[in-house]
Every structure is written in structure tokens, then in C-alpha cells.
Structure 1
């Protein structure tokens, strides 16, 4: 019996965030850039880079409560935008463990009355000193809604340079991979090591190339390059010892949308795979963010997504 495919939600950049939204439910918004919001009774995450010890910039904030759970969940992905940390550092390695850049917050509804968020004055100071990307809200769409609107034209133009460089009949391969009859002949073509994974990636995102995030809790990640043992040998949750499960990934289109709000920030990646504790555990009376696990895959040709 064929396995049931997990639904996939796509995150798309929405309207710009103006000012500093406040209120009891400000933290329920998913966004890219800006400064992280905090759940009630949980300290605002303020992580530092393990290499340069400078504050990390927020890449995305995702509000993602689990179905049939009494808990709120808020995930933050941070990155160091210091050029010295990026050049020749961990970002130049495929399938990188970047655990310290991800924070996982979740809190039961019952304790909202005990909230003690960051005071407004302190939040203003925090905004002034923490490096930031310009903030935009993230809206959500179902991937299935795009399946009938695949356009080969733009996908062909994106891959033309790749075809010329590699000497592969990309247009034929892509046309076969996107055919409505589900033919997978292209996968049997003799191609260079690693290219097949890239073809599958491009096939899947062709219908919605502006997606910046793919969310599918306990689903399957969309690999950009061949995964290493880090994916098959995920570390257990540091708190409960339970297994980790795939939750979401950041996509190449996000890179060009991270516009610097200060200090000339920039980050480069292909895709970032985010894995979280399958039990979504939370220590009793805990008030600081929990670290989860993420892996970075380099973009084999980052210019295709600019």
C-alpha cells in the first residue's frame, strides 16, 4: 500500500510589517525579518553567534501550533550576518548542523495570565542594537492549489544556463518530469552525481517558485542536494531524549527577499531543513527558549534563484 503523502503548506512573502505591532496576540504572526516576538511567560530569544559572539539576526518567525494540542508553538530561525563568519566558515560546508541558530518556543494556554513580555522601552533598545532584515508578514497557501498551474516557460529559463554548463538536455528532462502522466523517465537518465536531486527539487517548486518556506510536520523534506548522514542520524532531543521529526524548510527564494534594515546584512543558503522534537516537549516552569536542530544545504547554483 502506498504511503499517504503529508500535506505541504507554502509560506509566501506578504505585506511589509510597519512599526512595532503590539498587543496580546502579536506573537501569533509569522514573518521574515524584524525582531523576534515572545510568547507569554517566555523570555524573548536573544541568541549570539557562537563564532563572533555578536547578536544573530532573525530570518523567520513561524507560529505553528500542532493539531489537537493545547500548546502554542513559535519557532525562530536566526543567522549570523557577519561576513567574517560566512566566508570560509560553516556556511561553506554542505549539510551543516546549525543548531544554535534555531529556537523553539511553546507554551500552554493556561499560563497566559502570567505573561511578562519584554517591556516596551527595552524592546525599543533591543530593536536598535540587534541586526535586522526588513520585516514582512508570511501568508500561507496549500501546495495542492498550485499543482494545476505549472508553467514550464519560467522553469526553462531558470535552467538554461545550467543546461549549457552541464551539457545536459535539461528542457527534455524538465518537460518529462512535469508531465501530467507522472512519468519519471528523466530519473533514469544518466546524469552527473547530485544533479538528479537538483532536478527533483526544481520539478517540485516549478508551480510556485516564490515560495520561501515549506511546512509539513512529520513529512518529507525537499532536498536540494544529496543528503549526508546528518539527515539519517539526527540527534535525539536534548531535553526528553525523543526522536526529532522534520517540520519545515526555508527555500532559496527567501535569500533575495532578506533586505538589510541596518549594517549591510546578507546571508546565503540553498535550503535550511528544520527538525524538532516529535513530542514537542517543554520543561515545567521553563521560561527560556528551547534549541532544536537544523541542517543547511548549499545552493548548487545560487544565481538561478536571484
Structure 2
């Protein structure tokens, strides 16, 4: 797919552990934990199509489309069975939607509203460059009413993401079988890729960067030098010898400004491939099974996420291995009125190029 002229790319990074004492909601962007359900949704826990084990929740993304009246949440699940690792069939993507009126109909007048901020709630898509406006300006600009239960105050991203006060009785989380691993919960903070020049690394982010460099056998400096035109042949070979793959080298150059990114979002945009594909991925993505519309790329999970996916059970060594996971969703984001079941979307898993060395 050709890149859009003004393609907006949003970057998700880990923004701290979710305190067990704080409730999250469907409008929380997060890693791990159990998915938070929209009030009208009932989830039958998904299982792996390869081994029939229950799937673990990997990420939850609250991503309402700019011109749509629907709340919209996407949850990604994966099988932790090592035999299923790296296979698209062992992943499931579920999209849930509902109208604000459906939520209000189920709310008690005394329920404390969610005060999560517009930054963590975020329009991940077309109007992302309108962040920073006040609520009235966003309504005027987008023509879409921001849900009152998901608006907050404050300028610090971390404090906004963690400033949740949803009532415990109103919290609805998916039930999960006891034998299904649960990953440690982290908030996801969001920024535009064009703002990364001013991004300030924290100690945690530097730790992730060092781990990524060690795992991939190449440093950010080497990647930058390869793309600067000033690299020697020896430097170039050092940075690319591990994989010998131009696609991988291009991938590394693109993410080098923020290697700790765990998610890239660009609705109907262009994915970053981590390795050459046997066939054209775009042509192998099936149309929506419900309305027949084509699916478009929406977001992808990035290599830095792998190191964060550890079980809440400290005695467990369960983990996931992947290079990147590409998520495609219905272009029309179709939804049947009154539906209580999520719509299954499509994921393409590209393994880390290193994995082929061990097969």
C-alpha cells in the first residue's frame, strides 16, 4: 500500500504499571490485564484455533473513529503455547462498539463518571493532531461529541493516564479461565510520531532501549549512521549482517528515534514490515465477514512489547515471541445495532527474523 501524503502515525509507549487499587475501563489504553468490556458487550473468552487453549489478553486500544458516534475498543489476544508462537492463527483481534445512549441507559445516576483524560482516551485516528484543544474546540472541529465520562484534566501524561475514578460497581472486566496466563498490566501513553524529536527518555525507556539493542545486536547509532549517507561499508555491514535483510534494516531505521514504542497506530495507513513477506500481505487480508467491506491497516504491535509481556504470576515463565503483529479492521467499522458480541478482525504475525535461526 502506498503511503499517504500526510499520513498520521501515532506512537504508543509504556507509561507505568497499573496500580491494582485503580480501576480501568473500556477507554483505557493498556497492556496485559483482562480486557475491560463496553457495558453492552458480553465476551466469550477466545481460544486458540491451533491448540484450543485459552488466549491471553495482550493489549486494549480505545480508538473511536473521528466521524462515528460509537465508542470503539479493540482487544488483541494471543496463545502463550510455545508451539503456536509466531503463527497468525494463534492470535485473535476483537472489535467492540456501542453508542453513548446505550451506556447512559445502563448507568446509575449515582455512578462516579470516568475521569480519564482525552489524551489517554484519544482519537487514535484522523483528528489526532487536535490534541491539546479544549473540549468545546474539539466538538466544533470534529463534529463529534466527546463522551463526558471520558474527559479529564491535567497536563502531565502519566498523571492523566493514572487518574481514574470509575466506580467499582460499574467496572466490567471480562471473566477469564483460571488456567489462562494474565500479563502484567501497564498503561499505554500516546504521542504523534512527528513529536518524537522532543521526546525525553526516562530511565525505564533507556532500559528498554538497551534490552532491544542487545536482543537485535545493533545500536541506534549504527542504524542512524546507515541512513545518514556517511556510514562506511564496514559500519553498514555491522548493522545489517545479523539479518542481511533490507526490510529489517528499514524497519530499524524507522523506529530508531523511539525503539521503546510498543504500538504504532495509523488507521488506513501503511504498516512497517519487519521482514520480507512470501506474498503481498495486503492482498491476503480477507474482507470483513459481516459486511463484505475491505479491511484496512489500523495498528501494529512492536518488538519492545515482548519484554513487557510477563505473567502476573511471578513463578511463571510464560511469554510471547513475535517481531510485529499487524492488525487490520473493517474499513466501515460495521456494527449491528443491539449487538452484544465483539466482531472478529484480522491479524498478521511476522516473527522476529532471529527466530528462523533456531528452526
Deviations 1:105-156 (A, max 9, x none): 111212113449x9889959647554200001101011111247799xx89x
Corresponding residue for 1:110? 101
Kindly indicate whether the alpha-carbon contact (under 8 Å) linking 1:45 and 1:103 is maintained by their aligned counterparts in 2.
Answer: no
**Count of residues in correspondence between the two structures:** 272
Kindly indicate whether the alpha-carbon contact (under 8 Å) linking 2:303 and 2:322 is maintained by their aligned counterparts in 1.
Answer: yes
Instruction: Measure, in 2, the Cα distance between the counterparts of 1:52 and 1:290.
Output: 22
Corresponding residue for 1:29? 28
Corresponding residue for 2:291? 240
Corresponding residue for 2:303? 252
Range with greater deviation from structure 2 (11-20 or 127-136): 127-136
Instruction: Measure, in 2, the Cα distance between the counterparts of 1:266 and 1:288.
Output: 28
Taking structure 2 as the reference length, the TM-score comes to 0.66
Taking structure 1 as the reference length, the TM-score comes to 0.77
Instruction: Measure, in 2, the Cα distance between the counterparts of 1:291 and 1:265.
Output: 25
Q: Secondary structure at the match of 1:197?
A: helix
1:203 paired to 2:253:
yes
Aligned pair partner of 1:274 in 327, 333, 336 = 327
Aligned pair partner of 2:191 in 116, 125, 141 = 141
Matches for 1:19-168 after TM superposition, within 5 Å: 19=20, 21-22=22-23, 26-44=25-43, 46-86=45-85, 91=86, 96-98=87-89, 101-115=92-106, 126=176, 128-147=178-197, 158=213
Unpaired runs of 5+ residues, structure 1, are: 164-169, 181-185
Q: Secondary structure at the match of 1:73?
A: strand
Cα displacement (A) at 1:226 = 1.6
Over the aligned positions, Cα root-mean-square deviation in angstroms equals 3.5
Instruction: Measure, in 1, the Cα distance between the counterparts of 2:54 and 2:32.
Output: 14
Range with greater deviation from structure 2 (4-13 or 244-253): 4-13
Kindly indicate whether the alpha-carbon contact (under 8 Å) linking 1:76 and 1:103 is maintained by their aligned counterparts in 2.
Answer: yes
Instruction: Measure, in 1, the Cα distance between the counterparts of 2:174 and 2:330.
Output: 33
Unpaired runs of 5+ residues, structure 2, are: 108-167, 202-208, 231-235
Instruction: Measure, in 1, the Cα distance between the counterparts of 2:19 and 2:243.
Output: 46
Q: Closer, same or farther in 2 for the Cα pair 1:112/1:11, shift >3 Å?
A: same
Range with greater deviation from structure 2 (48-57 or 135-144): 48-57
Corresponding residue for 2:225? 175
